Amino acid sequence: MSNLSAAPWSAKWLPEERSTEFYGFFSVAGQLSAFIGPALYGFLAAGAAVWYENQGMAILPAEQTGMRVAVIAMVVFLAFGLVLTLTVKKPELVAAEMAESAPQTPA
């Protein structure tokens, strides 16, 4: 569902002649993230729970702490994605910057 919700928002930035390539990329990225996100969460939660159990913590608190560790890791990933998204420049801003920095020719 994430690739479908992002497609209309990003369509205005796509070069029209390459739009199918980008939609294919969005589709693959959406399917990949649908697998990687839950798998990473599960591995982090299970790994942290096992580590806390080996440190002497009881099973239930160790599992709860493992889930907290996994949630914190997901928040870090989301924050990284936000920072990465904020660094993307809109094409019209790039074009305006290029026009401003272009050498002025006398008329």
Q: For residue 54, what pLDDT is reported?
A: 96
Q: Residue 13's pLDDT is what?
A: 64
Global pTM value: 0.64
Q: What is the number of domains present in the chain?
A: 1
Evaluate whether residue 107 is within a structural domain. no
Domain hosting 30: range is 2-101
CA distance 7 to 20: 11
pLDDT (tens digit per residue) in 13-22: 667 777 777 7
Mean pLDDT of the chain: 81
- What is the pLDDT at residue 75? 95
Tell me, yes or no, whether 62 lies in a domain.
yes
Contact 65, 49 (CB under 8 A): yes
pLDDT, residue 103, reads: 67
